Amino acid sequence: MGFVDAIKTCFSRYASFSGRATRSEYWWWVLFVVLGGVVTGIVNDGLNAVFGLAILVPSIAAAARRLHDIGKSGWWQLVGFIPLLGLILMIYWTVQPSQGDNEYGSAAPLTAGI
């Protein structure tokens, strides 16, 4: 999945906390969030706040779907509130390869490219 497809997917599944998200979908989304935050922060603080609110729910949903992809409940995101340890665990989990079929759905088919 490419950058544009990942952004479209995350916005089209805005509040969908079910299903799975591949690593590429999740990390392209994270790149979009970081770049969008930097650009809107440079332009205007108010615009940055609006951007942050606009991507809040889709970011939580994308992270929940990413955790589903490795067989974990989306509620595990709450571990991110634990200083340092939470950040390390979330990064570790989100870089894990997709599991095969699990309770959250079928694995995404393998595709070539980034």
- Is the pLDDT at 112 greater than 50? The verdict is no
Q: Which domain holds residue 75?
A: 3-94
In a domain, 52, yes or no: yes
Mean per-residue pLDDT of the chain:
90
Strand partners, 105: 102
Closest CA to 97 of 88, 105, 87, 108: 108
pLDDT single digits (tens) 73-89: 999 999 988 999 998 99
In a domain, 47, yes or no: yes
Domain count, the chain: 1
The pTM of the full predicted model, rounded to 2 decimals, is 0.82
Q: Give the integer Cα–Cα distance in Å for 7 and 9.
A: 5
Start-to-end CA distance of the chain, whole Å, equals 6
In a domain, 69, yes or no: yes
